[in-house]
Chain A
Amino acid sequence: MAKLIKNQAIVDDAWQVLTLAEDQRAETVTVGEGQWIVPLSVFLAQPALQQRSDVAVWLDGDDEPADVAPFLAQLPLVAVRFPKFSDGRGYSIATLLRSRHGHTGELRAIGDVLRDQFDYLGRCGFDALQPDADRYTDAQLEDALNSLTVFSEPYQASVTIASPLFRRQRRAA
C-alpha cells in the first residue's frame, strides 16, 4: 500500500489517483470502485461523482481553487498536484483553499513532492504529503520526518502560522 505523511506521521493510504490519458475525456471516463482522487474537470463534469463519499478531487496548477469551493464541506480530501517540484503554483492554490475558501479537511500534496519542500508545503496548509511512490525508501521517508519543520520561527505569516514574527514575538530593538 502507498505511504504518505499525514499529520507528522507515516501512514498507509488506500486512495488512488486518477489521471486522464490522452484519449480519455472528463465527461466519459469511468471512475471505478474504491477510493479515487479524480481531476477537478472529471468531478465537475460528472455530477454522479459528487454524491460518492469515496471520491475526492485533485487540482492541477492551472485549476481555479474557487471552482472546488462549493464542494469542500463534503469532500473527504482535496489534493493539489505538483507536475514538477519546481512548479510553485500549488503553494498559492493551497494557500487560497485554506485561507480564502475555508477548506478545513485534508489537503494533500501529490506528484513530484520532495522532502526538501515539506516545511514550505506545510506552512501553505498541506497536512498530507505524498511523494511519488518510488521516490523514497521507507528509511528515507522516516528520515524525511525531520524535514517537516526546518525553520522554527519563520518571519512571515502563512496558513499555519497566522501572524508574522513581529506580531507573534516581542522582538527587542
Chain B
Amino acid sequence: MYRYDEYDQQLVDERVKQFADQTRRYLAGELSEDEFLPLRLQNGLYVQKHAPMLRIAIPYGNLRSDQVRMFAHIARTYDKGYAHFSTRQNIQYNWPKLEDVPEILGKLASVQIHAIQTSGNCIRNTTSDPFAGVAGDELIDPRPWCELIRQWSTFHPEFAYLPRKFKMAVNGAEEDRAVIRCHDIGLEVRHNAAGETGFRIFVGGGLGRTPMVGEQISDFVPWPHLLSYLEAILRVYNRFGRRDNKFKARIKILVKALGIDAFREQVEAEWAHLKDGPSTLSTDEVARIAACFVDPQYESLPATDAGFERARAESKPFAKWVERNVRGHKRAGYASVVVSLKKTGVPPGDITAEQLDLVAAWADRYSFGEVRVTHEQNLVFADVKRAELFELWEQLREAALATPNFGLLTDMICCPGGDFCNLANAKSIPIAESVQRRFDDLDYLHDIGELELNISGCMNACGHHHVGHIGILGVDKNGEEWYQITIGGRQGNDAGIGKVIGRSFAAADVPDVIEALIDTYIDHRHEGERFVDTVHRIGLDPFKARVYGEQQTERKVANG
C-alpha cells in the first residue's frame, strides 16, 4: 500500500489550508456562489437535498485500517453515523455541515486521505481492480500505475478546468474488473510481444446521457511514455472539447465527432512534442512506487485447510457464503473475501460507523491491515488465510455483513436516487429494496446465478444501469416516477450498453417485471449459461413477450 512521504503530506496539508481559507471567504461573502462552486467541487463537496454531500477519494480502492477508523470517526462526529461507498471507489457522507468540512478534510489528511478532485470538471479519482495484486488472472499489478497517475493528475495546473469531468481506470488482469471501457480513458497494463510493459488505451467511454463504450486509441504505449501520452490526450480534449453544451462536453462526444482515427492523429501530433520530455517516467520512480505494492508477508501454507473444509461441509450457510463471497487467491492457503454491503433493507453501499470500526479491526486481524473498495459498492479483504475464513465469517455474520450474494441479483449497484440526490427523476433505493425482498429465497437466488442489476435514479447513470445485465432507470413522466428497464448490458472485456425492453413501469410493478425477466431466462437458459448470455443468444423478444404479454399483442393487432 502506498504511504505518503513528506511531499505527499505537504501537498495535502496545503490543500486543507487553502480550502479552509476559501470556505472562510465564501461564508464572509467574498466569494460568490458561482466562484465557490468549482472550488468546493474539487474538494468533493456537493450541495444536495438535505445538506452538502462530501465525496472522499479512495485511490484505486485501497484503504488501511487507520483510514477506515477515521471514516467511522467522521461518520459519528460529523454525520448521522453512517457513510456510503460509491461506484467510483469513493466514500460519501450525506449530512456534513459546510462549516465542518475544512476540519473533516484536516482529519482525513492526518491519515493520508483527501477529497481532491472527487468532483468537478477535472481528472477524478483513478479507479482499478479491487483484486489487484491477489487475483490469479493478473498479468501486471495496476496499482503502481494508478498511483503514478494519481500524482500526475493531482493539482495538474493545466487540467483543472476541463470541459467536463474526466475519469480514468486501470486494469491489469485478463478479466477487466475496472470497467475500463466505460471511462474517459481506460488503460490496460500489458506486455507486448517483446515482453515490455506498456498500455493499451481506450478513450471516449462513459455512461450518462449518451452512453458509449470507449474505442482503442493505442494498442501499446510503452510505460515511460504513460504520462506524456495522457497529457497529449488531455490537452487535445481541453482545447477542443465542446464547452457550449454541458451535455456534449465529455471527451466521448469529441472522439465521436472526429472519429477515433482523426482524434488519434491529433493526439499523436501533440504527443510528438511531449514524448521524451520531462514527464517521461524513470525506472527509479516506477521502482520507488512499485516497492509500495509488494506482497505482504504471506506464510507458506498448504493449499487446503482441514478445519475450513470441515466447516464448509458442516455449515450450509457458511458453504453458501464461501461459494459466493470467497474468491481464489494467487497464493496457496489464502483467499479474498467480499464483504457484501447489500443486505436487504440497507441502501446498497451504506455502512455504519460501528461496522466501519469492525471492518478496521478485522483488516488488522485477518488481512494485513488493508481493505479494498469495489465499484459494485462492496468491500474486500484481499488476503485472508483459508484457515481463518470460518472465524471471520462468524463475526461478519454477527455484524450483518455476511450476506452471501456477491455477483447475484440482490448484490445490486444503486445510486442514492430521489432520497438524497437533487438531480433524481425517481427514487432508486426503495426499488432496490423491493427487488431484494422479492428475491429473498437464497437457494433460488443462487440458482439464478451471476446477474448484475444496476439502478440509476436518472440518466446521469451513477448506478451504471446501462451496463447492468438488467438496468433500471428512473424516468419522469408528468411529474410521476417511472422506471425504464434495459437488458443485455455488460461490463468487462466485452462491455456493451443494454437495450430498452419497452415502455416503463410504475415502482410497484418493478419486482414483477424482474421476475418475468428471470422466468424467461430460466425457461431458455442452457446449462451454466448466465442471464446476460441468454439474452445475447435469444434476443429481446422472448423477454418482451413475457413482460408485456398480451398488451403488446393487442397493440400489434390494433396497428394492423
Contact = CB atoms under 8 A, between A and B. Distances in A.
B460 interface: no
Interface in A80-127: 85-89, 91-93, 95, 100, 114, 116-117, 119-121, 123-124
B278 A157 contact: yes
B35 A173 contact: no
Interface in B35-55: 35, 38-39
Contacts of A91: 157-161, 238
B158 A150 contact: no
Contact of A172 (B5, B156, B158, B163): B5
B477 interface: no
A165 B151 contact: yes
A154 B157 contact: yes
A173 B288 contact: yes
Q: How large is the interface on A (under 10, 10 to 19, 20 to 34, 35 or more residues)?
A: 35 or more
A164 B14 contact: no
Nearest to A90: B161
Contacts of A88: 121, 158-163, 238
Interface of A is mostly: loop
A139 B161 CA distance: 27
Nearest to B235: A92
Interface string B269-294: 00001000111001011011001100
A46 to B, nearest CB: 26
Interface string A58-97: 0001000000000000000000000001111101110100
B279 A164 contact: yes
A51 interface: no
A120 B155 CA distance: 8
A166 B224 CA distance: 13
B11 A89 contact: no
A79 B171 CA distance: 42
A136 to B, nearest CB: 9
A157 B278 CA distance: 7
Contacts of A150: 14-15, 18
B161 A86 contact: yes
Given A123-B157, A164-B278, A171 B5 contact: yes
B154 interface: yes
B298 interface: no
B152 A140 contact: no
B157 A119 contact: yes
Q: How large is the interface on B (under 10, 10 to 19, 20 to 34, 35 or more residues)?
A: 35 or more
B152 A156 contact: yes
A140 B29 CA distance: 13
Contact of A156 (B35, B156, B235, B239): B156
A87 B158 contact: no
Given A156-B152, A169-B7, A171-B7, A124 B158 contact: yes
A120 B160 contact: yes
Given A88-B238, A92-B235, A155 B11 contact: yes
Contacts of A140: 30
A158 B158 contact: yes
A153 interface: yes
Contact of B11 (A87, A124, A151): A151
A92 to B, nearest CB: 5
B239 to A, nearest CB: 5
A157 to B, nearest CB: 4
A163 B15 CA distance: 21
B10 A167 contact: no
Nearest to B30: A140
- Residue from B5, B18, B157, B235 having most chain A Cβ neighbours under 10 A: B157
Nearest to B154: A155
B141 to A, nearest CB: 16
B291 A173 contact: yes
B243 interface: yes
Contact of A89 (B155, B238, B277): B238
7 contacts: A88-B121, A91-B238, A121-B157, A153-B11, A155-B155, A157-B279, A158-B156
Given A91-B161, A167-B278, 14 more contacts: A61-B243, A85-B35, A95-B235, A119-B157, A121-B157, A155-B152, A155-B155, A156-B151, A156-B152, A156-B279, A166-B284, A166-B285, A173-B288, A173-B292
Interface of A: 61, 85-89, 91-93, 95, 100, 114, 116-117, 119-121, 123-124, 140, 150-158, 162-167, 169, 171-173
